[in-house]
Chains A and B, each alone.
Chain A
Amino acid sequence: MLLALAACSGGRIVENDEYHNDAGRSRVAGRMSGEQDGLLVMGTDRSSKSGSGAGAEGGLGVNAYLWRATLDTLSFLPLSSADPFGGVIITDWYSPPATPSERFRATAYIMGRQLRSDGVKISVFRQELRGGAWVDAAVAQATATDLENQVLTRARDLRSQTAAR
């Protein structure tokens, strides 16, 4: 039964550092070589961990959890451009079916590699259709803040899902 369980490949790969190691080196916390576990003499550094969501492993320049959470949160809008290194997401205009005379677009900035509450800034723009032309209109102050809070909640969920594995 256990082998059948393994064969179904639904489990998490256990990393080598999750096994007991009786070498003296494994008992020392940290490395004189900094964040690197030993000196890289050849090949590509694979040591980056996704636990902090620092983003280096996936080739991101910003926090991976905030990046993913922002994409998830703004997914109801059509995407115009996304720069994972600069941390900028720009959506295209979108008119809700219920209110075809107004349209929205959003711009999100992810500030850095840290998962922190001020790590994301979202601006929402709104236009109304007046006399056959779209003109800028005010947006409730709380709209952008609500979206940011939704991003942070989603990022926290993603992080806890990863930590639980």
Chain B
Amino acid sequence: MRKLLLGTTAVVGAVVMASTGAMAQGADPFRAAGPAVMSHRDLEVRVGGYFRYYYSNTTLDYANTSAANMGKSDFAQEVELHFVANGKAANGLRYGVAIEVQNDGVRQATSGTNSKNSLDLDEAWGYVAGDFGQVRMGDEDPVWALMSQGQVANFASGGLDGDFYDSVAHNRPVLSQPSDAGDATKIIYMSPQFAGFDFGASFAFNTGEGPLNGCTSSNTSCDTLASTSSNTIAQRRNEINAVIRYRGSFSGVGIGATAGYFGADVVKNTSGVSADRINVGQLGLQLSAYGFLVGGQYLFGDAGYGFYTPRLKVAGDDRNFEAFNVGLSYTMGAFTVGTQYGETRSVGVQSRTVTTGGRTDKGWSIGGTYRVAPGIEYVAEYTSFKIEEAGYNFSTRAASGTTANNSVDGQVFLTGFRFAF
């Protein structure tokens, strides 16, 4: 383990300092004394990037209010910068770091203001790998997402896992895609592959990301919050994931299958209703042959409106979470066309004061990709969704107990280019 730590430290040092031949001479006064740094021949540092530019046309119920009306059309761009360092030690140990910088649409550098072009970190992780498998640590998806199979998202902007959410103001559908689990700072182990099988597990103490513990305004904002008497906080603790995956091919047909578990405790409310522990299972299967990819995923268990949110421990309410998605795509030369359908049935809002029914989120997407040249793609897609919940008013976004505005419809058409280097 000591060797692993030294190797990782060396990589980070090499990236940050970015000095060259002088590194091993110890002449740099800003560099802490430490073990001799390896030759650059053992290291690879890369910068990659991504840029997308879309036109979107959105139709959404309740987008207009008495005070404000919305237009339907918009242009939008998004940028990612990827910094990747990989190394290999003489004993065969592989190691490295991956850092993704992006301009995220919803981070708020100034309270109440969407500073959409501010840069922030998405994933940021380091790893060591060898015959024992891989240990990955940092802000990264859990193995639930990393090793998932069955999701068909290889067309247009990604189907129900794509970019249409960025064009929906509120009342976004919850369609239970693998990457919804989030990037809480965690530790991940993923095994080598044996006869087509590999497995993995990941663990996060808390839901927070980044270097700070989150205790900036009050104790209840802390990542490490375990219980509170002030409110019910739907914050996960001790999040654990385990996945087993199979990949192989038989007579030219590629097969991928996965079975996974997502579990987490939740911050306790010592003065009232707490939330239940999350326990969700996932099964996925995909087949590929002759350019076709067909796949699906089924999720089930104890959770709230999404597999990553808890259900309130309300007496007599043990409604389960259930979701599935299925998809089909076809690739021929530079073209890929595909479609995906997803549905989530959940307990919904669970108001303690008025009666609300179960919530159903349904969505489907159809679209295509034309690969103009390596690293340049033209995409177009149409996505439609509907959310229903009896007793919930989607116009005021509050549990009302009435039959008014109990469902919301939305449609998004996206088209544009995306580039990667």
Within 8 A of B (CB), among A8-58: 9-14, 16, 19-20, 22-25, 27-34, 36-47
Report the nearest A residue to B247, measured CB to CB.
A18
Q: Is the CB of B52 within 8 A of A20?
A: no
**Which residues of the other chain, A, contact B100 by a CB distance below 8 angstroms?**
23
* A20 and B193 in contact, given A41-B45, A43-B41 (Cβ under 8 angstroms): no
Please tell me which one of the listed residues B48, B190, B371, B376 contacts residue A39 in the complex, with CB atoms under 8 A apart.
B48
Given contacts A31-B374, A33-B421, contact A10 B194 (CB under 8 A): yes
Q: How far is it, in angstroms, between the C-alpha of A39 and the C-alpha of B47 when the chains are bound?
A: 5
Contact of A25 among B49, B192, B193, B374 (CB under 8 A): B49
- Which residue of B is nearest A35, CB measured? B374
Contact B80–A24 (Cβ < 8 Å): yes
Is B132 part of the contact surface with A, judged by Cβ < 8 Å? yes
How many Å lie between the Cα of A122 and that of B167 in the bound state? 63
- B198–A14 CB distance below 8 A: yes
Are B40 and A44 in touch, CB under 8 angstroms?
A: yes
Total B residues in contact with A, Cβ cutoff 8 Å: 65
Report chain A residues within 8 Å CB of B49.
Answer: 25, 38
A7 at the B interface (CB under 8 A): yes
Some 13 contacts from A to B, beta carbons below 8 A apart, are A11-B198, A20-B146, A24-B163, A29-B374, A30-B420, A31-B375, A32-B375, A32-B376, A32-B419, A33-B48, A34-B374, A43-B45, A43-B85
Q: A20-B147, A30-B375, A43-B40 are in contact. List 18 more A-B contacts (CB 8 A).
A: A5-B191, A5-B194, A11-B131, A11-B191, A20-B148, A22-B141, A24-B52, A28-B377, A29-B371, A30-B373, A30-B374, A31-B48, A32-B374, A38-B46, A38-B47, A42-B45, A44-B44, A46-B86
Chain B interface residues toward A at CB < 8 A: 14, 18, 40-50, 52, 78, 80, 82, 84-88, 94, 98, 100, 122-123, 127, 129-134, 141, 145-148, 151, 153-154, 157-158, 161, 163, 178-179, 190-194, 198-199, 371, 373-377, 418-421
Q: Which A residues lie at the B interface, using CB under 8 A? A: 2, 5-7, 9-14, 16, 19-20, 22-25, 27-34, 36-47, 165
Query: 8 closest pairs, A vs B, by CB?
Result: A30-B374, A11-B192, A38-B48, A32-B375, A25-B50, A22-B179, A9-B131, A28-B420
